[in-house]
Structure 1
């Protein structure tokens, strides 16, 4: 089939690679416009755009997917199907109707669970044991279309969203390529999602990523892992923001008030509503990441100090 691939972040690159290596012809990619990045805030192409440029593929970067010039070009290309991974923009009906086999999305959850922008983060945040990926036909609702195929993936106790998303991106790439094969062969029929088990996974904002030390230790652990690497869990110390790397529940430690800090020789503990957690790497405002023990060593902690 003639494919136009839509995707933007690094997470989408394994799927593009799988399709480039398949029997299908990727004739163009659709990606988000170049965005400012780094301290200089210079415009940088998306990872998908960079890989497409290496492969010599036409790159389309509409500001909006309903732009007439973009829609006209898509009609000229006349793709058979448009596979999608984390494109990052809503697709209007005018775009959905162009390819003969529609737009097929690779979504990183077991639909209808965790429809929305942050399925992996919410699966970790809510303590799920298993997640997965699904390919489905895009329609105008939010991740509501009928499903072609699924795969499952266990969530490991120390998984961050970055760890889990990395595994799903690779496994899901194969699923998406297999889905394209099945559609071309006429052997795949999408099945409607069940009405039961629907949950929604909205984008996690920086404010959502602030740690509540009054929560139980397992909730603090899940929040930090869910927000790693983005948007990054954080707290405040002496009115300054401190970003947090992974934490580790420390049920062997003595009781500490929520947010209370205890610097031991080989670890730094913070109190929660249950047992303390051990801090891993921290990043004070304006500084580089460092081990929590190094950070605490220069603080001259008093009994009144704590994280808020």
Structure 2
């Protein structure tokens, strides 16, 4: 089949790769180059870079407007496939491919319609996550479903780990649906169940509230790892939390209290303390929480003499 593929981040690459190996992708649509890093260098999206490697013509656009619609119509594709493009497909582009568009969405629809389904699954304490391939319609993630898969969410699994796994499993699922559409055997069913929404995760979602219970705070840490990055504020500076775990075997600490227990860096919550394992202080490289704690004592003769409450800014 002649396909148009729309996607932007790295999680779209497994689907692009498997489809490119078995079908003719006449064009890739991805978002425009964006500034990256401290020097804000304009950088192609992961999908744009892979399309270049595969020799596939690329349309860079942040909005799927009339110009994009004309470019796609001129290619006369059979089907459009979208994976995390980062924008809405509206008519007339929605109806331009002969078979319309299908979307790989990393959720068990209709639960978690929207931009950040995996993060909200983890943050809400869901026991399982999944991926759905559905027919794209004008309403948000509301079209009939062709196929889905499910997998458990590990107790310590981050959104990054979960999304990486789903991107590969979902790629195979999408390829299967594309083959069935080509053969004329694909069947879809309307979505059933309670609709919940998964809006874009912001930096404020990633700031840990230590007055919450440990399991809630730990879910938020896992949900916002690696992006936008769970954090708290110590001495007025942002401290990214790269890895942590509930410390069930330690005594309780007051919420927001920072302590060192035999080399273990702990922060109090409403219930069990959270142990920091790996952190990324502002302006420094990632390091173990133990090394970070030792650095707090630079120029200070006794860390224990510095009240934890003066070091920690509770959100």
Q: TM-score, normalised by structure 2?
A: 0.94
In structure 1, how many angstroms separate the alpha carbons of the residues matched to 2:20 and 2:295? 52
Which of 253, 268, 273 is 1:271 aligned to?
A: 268
| Equivalent position of 2:45 in the other structure | 46
Superposition deviation, residue 153 in structure 1: 1.2
Q: Is the 8 Å Cα contact of residues 113 and 198 (structure 2) preserved in structure 1?
A: yes
Residue 191 of structure 2 is aligned to residue 187 of structure 1:
no
Residue 139 of structure 2 is aligned to residue 141 of structure 1:
yes
In structure 1, how many angstroms separate the alpha carbons of the residues matched to 2:126 and 2:175? 27
In structure 1, how many angstroms separate the alpha carbons of the residues matched to 2:222 and 2:170? 21
**Partner secondary structure for residue 19 of structure 1:** helix
Q: Is the 8 Å Cα contact of residues 261 and 307 (structure 1) preserved in structure 2?
A: no
Between stretches 235-244 and 175-184, larger displacement belongs to 235-244
Superposition deviation, residue 138 in structure 1: 0.7
| Equivalent position of 2:21 in the other structure | 21
CA displacement, residues 92-127 of structure 1 (integer Å, 9 cap, x when unaligned) = 211101001111000001101110000000110011
In structure 2, how many angstroms separate the alpha carbons of the residues matched to 1:62 and 1:205? 23
| Equivalent position of 1:77 in the other structure | 75
Tell me the C-alpha RMSD between the 2 structures: 1.1
Q: Is the 8 Å Cα contact of residues 147 and 192 (structure 1) preserved in structure 2?
A: yes
Which of 292, 297, 306 is 1:295 aligned to?
A: 292
Residue 91 of structure 2 is aligned to residue 125 of structure 1:
no
Which of 236, 239, 254 is 1:239 aligned to?
A: 236
Superposition deviation, residue 307 in structure 1: 4.5
In structure 1, how many angstroms separate the alpha carbons of the residues matched to 2:217 and 2:62? 38
In structure 2, how many angstroms separate the alpha carbons of the residues matched to 1:283 and 1:152? 33
Q: Is the 8 Å Cα contact of residues 256 and 269 (structure 2) preserved in structure 1?
A: yes
**Partner secondary structure for residue 49 of structure 1:** helix
**Partner secondary structure for residue 74 of structure 1:** helix
Q: Is the 8 Å Cα contact of residues 30 and 62 (structure 2) preserved in structure 1?
A: no
Structure 1 stretches of at least 4 aligned residues deviating more than 6 Å after TM superposition: none
Structure 1: tracts of 5 or more residues without a match: none
Number of residue pairs the alignment of both structures matches = 305
CA displacement, residues 174-205 of structure 1 (integer Å, 9 cap, x when unaligned) = 001001011111111221111x2211111110
Q: Is the 8 Å Cα contact of residues 221 and 246 (structure 1) preserved in structure 2?
A: no
**Partner secondary structure for residue 235 of structure 1:** strand
| Equivalent position of 1:5 in the other structure | 5
Between stretches 71-80 and 297-306, larger displacement belongs to 297-306
